[in-house]
């Protein structure tokens, strides 16, 4: 396995083509806006080095029997699924941000079982190809970006009916040695911190959309792939001197538009090419795994936000107020409910035909449905406890100014024994998680990541077994059909 430092150096050897605010970035690793997101991924390697967390951060490969980073692992039991959630909560607690590696982990588990079942039915060799890639991923300890979401264009039209065919990733040419693909993937979390890209279809396809029923892998810096970095609220604060106003100087997340401009993919890296009838299976399984993930990562960030709100209450001098205590209890109740859902869908998982374990899809969708709501209430309560100063206080430069600094220090102090600087620091952290750059990975991602709320409601409807429940009621009421 790689160390954190080895991971950072591995990114320096890559040749990414990244545009950020209209400029081509020469050195993504050290760019002040991108660097905190790299630090978050780096933490997934650093904690794996710590023997204290070995049971969460590492696992035993079913391919080699060797120890691997859990992010490169196919779940071999419900215990693996539970440990995944606990690992994600730990990383959320340590970074208070998105650590970006979950999408690839969820992707490999979905692609593994889907390719196995494609091969069983159609006699293809996709699973064999996938296992070769997985073996290399484990040996090299790669960060793999799972790429599912296409720009989609007109949501009322199928991929093949769009005015522009590139609004969904598709095959533009089939050759003897491979395929050529074009299109884009949007909202790609951690793409610029990844070694490889694992592409999956974004929706269930029909026969007319055969060219769009695609899954493949490619180096993240492959010829023809380039990125347009997504903006985040308050992101240019990272360009300023000082660290108070950023709220979380060390860690962050990122999203980007990933463009495929006639990218060549050798057949050995293709895991689905036209088998449209299996595209829905792959989407459903990936979505289930990723909705499970949010019961871990969002809970870990929630732990930090609850702690920050409690500290702010102390610094404001209101920690003993009964309504403050009650709000902190409510925040904890909501956060632990999310965690309970993540654990439940993991414990209720089952073995696939491939051998790896899939979560309980109904409970995973219930987990994510709660995620679309509870973090918003946790954030609201944190903002309530913090007070309006969280969004109206002067800058760090004002605090450090030789003349007005004393005025800022005087009038923005809360409890006399706590420095104004420390009060500002905790309020900026709350701002960062609820409104700033970290809000992308906590607040907004809770709504749209792994599918919008309606996507989960559709799955809950499918998985909820309403007919079975009706039969239970009829039996108790002694109603005979």
The residue with tokens 């009829």 is 474
- Strand 214-219, strand 225-229: pairing: unpaired
Average pLDDT, the chain: 98
**Which of the 8 DSSP states describes residue 162?**
S
DSSP 84-137: HHHHHHHHHHHHSS----HHHHHHHHHHHHHHHHHHHHH---HHHHHHHHHHHH
Q: Which residues pair with 180 in a beta bridge?
A: 173, 264
- Of 86, 107, 421, the closest CA to residue 290 belongs to 107
Q: Say what the pLDDT of residue 466 is.
A: 97
Q: Which tens digit of pLDDT belongs to each residue from 232-269?
A: 999 999 999 999 999 999 999 999 999 999 999 999 99
In the beta sheet, which residues pair with residue 264?
180
The whole-number pLDDT of residue 150 equals 98
The pLDDT of residue 327? 98
Q: Which fold has domain 4-276?
A: Butyryl-CoA Dehydrogenase, subunit A; domain 2 (2.40.110)
Tell me the mean pLDDT in the region 441-457. 94
**pLDDT for the residue numbered 481:** 85
Say whether pLDDT at 95 is over 90.
yes
pLDDT digits (tens, 9 = 90+) for 369-407: 999 999 999 999 999 999 999 999 999 999 999 999 999
What does the pLDDT average to over 414-419?
A: 98
| Stretch 123-148: mean pLDDT | 98
The model's pLDDT over 313-351, given as tens digits with 9 standing for 90+, comes to 999 999 999 999 999 999 999 999 999 999 999 999 999
Q: Whole-angstrom Cα distance, residue 6 to residue 3?
A: 5
Query: 282-321, pLDDT tens digit by residue?
Result: 999 999 999 999 999 999 999 999 999 999 999 999 999 9
Q: Give the architecture (CATH level 2) of 281-465.
A: Up-down Bundle (1.20)
Q: What is the mean pLDDT of residues 90-102?
A: 98
Look at residue 304 in the predicted model and tell me its pLDDT. Answer: 98
Q: What average pLDDT does the segment 32-56 reach?
A: 98
Separation of alpha carbons 105 and 115, rounded Å:
16
Question: pLDDT digit string (tens) for 97-127?
Answer: 999 999 999 999 999 999 999 999 999 999 9
Mapped onto helix, strand or coil, the DSSP state of residue 220 is coil
What single-letter DSSP state applies at residue 236? G
Residues labelled as active-site residues: 98, 102, 189, 255, 290, 294, 297, 445
Sorted by where each begins, the domain ranges of the chain are 4-276, 281-465
Across 5-42, b (16+ Cβ under 10 Å) vs e yields eebbebbeeeebbbebeeeebeebbebebbbbbbbbbb
Tell me the whole-structure pTM to 2 decimals.
0.97
Distance between CA atoms of 449 and 149, rounded to whole angstroms?
A: 10
pLDDT category at 168 given cuts 50, 70, 90 is: very high
Banded model confidence at residue 47, pLDDT cuts 50, 70, 90:
very high
What is the Cα–Cα distance from 109 to 113, expressed in whole angstroms?
Answer: 7
- How far is residue 342's CA from residue 84's CA, in Å, rounded to a whole number? 10
């Amino acid at each position: 396995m790689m160390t954190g430092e080895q991971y950072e150096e591995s990114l320096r050897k890559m040749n990414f083509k990244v545009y950020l605010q209209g400029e081509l970035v020469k050195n993504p690793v050290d760019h002040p806006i991108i660097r905190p997101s790299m630090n978050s991924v780096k933490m997934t390697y650093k904690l794996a080095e710590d023997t204290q967390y070995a049971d969460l951060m590492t696992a035993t490969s079913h391919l080699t029997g060797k120890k691997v980073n859990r992010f490169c692992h196919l779940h071999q039991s419900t215990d693996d699924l539970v440990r995944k959630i606990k690992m994600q909560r730990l990383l959320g607690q340590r970074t208070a941000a998105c650590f970006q590696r979950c999408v690839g982990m969820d992707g490999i588990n979905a692609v593994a079982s889907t390719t196995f079942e494609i091969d069983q039915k159609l006699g293809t060799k996709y699973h064999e190809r996938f296992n070769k890639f997985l073996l290399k991923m484990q040996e090299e300890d790669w960060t793999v970006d799972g790429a599912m979401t296409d720009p989609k264009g007109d949501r009322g039209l199928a991929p093949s009916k769009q005015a522009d065919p590139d609004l969904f990733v598709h095959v533009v040419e089939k050759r003897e040695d491979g395929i050529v693909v074009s299109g884009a993937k949007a909202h790609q979390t951690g793409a610029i911190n990844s070694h490889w890209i694992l592409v999956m279809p974004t929706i269930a396809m029909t026969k007319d959309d055969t060219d769009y029923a695609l899954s493949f892998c490619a180096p993240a810096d492959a010829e023809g792939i380039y990125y347009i970095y997504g903006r985040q609220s308050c992101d240019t604060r990272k360009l300023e001197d000082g660290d108070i106003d950023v709220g979380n100087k060390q860690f962050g997340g990122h999203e980007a538009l990933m463009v495929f401009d006639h990218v060549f993919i050798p057949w050995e890296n293709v895991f689905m090419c036209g088998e449209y009838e299996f595209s829905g299976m792959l989407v459903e399984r990936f979505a289930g795994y990723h909705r499970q993930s949010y019961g871990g990562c969002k809970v870990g960030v929630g732990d930090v936000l609850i702690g920050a709100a409690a500290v702010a209450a102390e610094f404001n001098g209101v920690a003993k107020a009964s309504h403050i205590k009650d709000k902190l209890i409510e925040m904890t109740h909501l956060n632990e409910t999310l965690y309970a859902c993540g654990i439940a869908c993991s414990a209720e998982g089952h073995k696939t035909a491939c051998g790896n374990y899939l979560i309980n899809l109904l409970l995973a969708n219930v987990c994510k449905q709660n995620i679309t709501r509870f973090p918003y209430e946790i954030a609201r309560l944190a903002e309530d406890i913090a007070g309006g100063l969280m969004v109206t206080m002067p800058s760090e430069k004002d605090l450090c100014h030789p003349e007005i600094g004393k005025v800022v220090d005087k009038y923005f102090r809360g409890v006399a024994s706590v420095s104004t600087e420390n009060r500002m620091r905790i309020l900026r952290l709350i701002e960062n998680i609820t409104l700033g750059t970290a809000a992308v990975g906590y607040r907004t991602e809770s709504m749209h990541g792994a599918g919008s709320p309606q996507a989960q409601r559709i799955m809950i409807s499918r998985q909820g077994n309403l007919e079975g429940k009706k039969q239970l009621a009829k039996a108790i009421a002694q109603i005979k059909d």
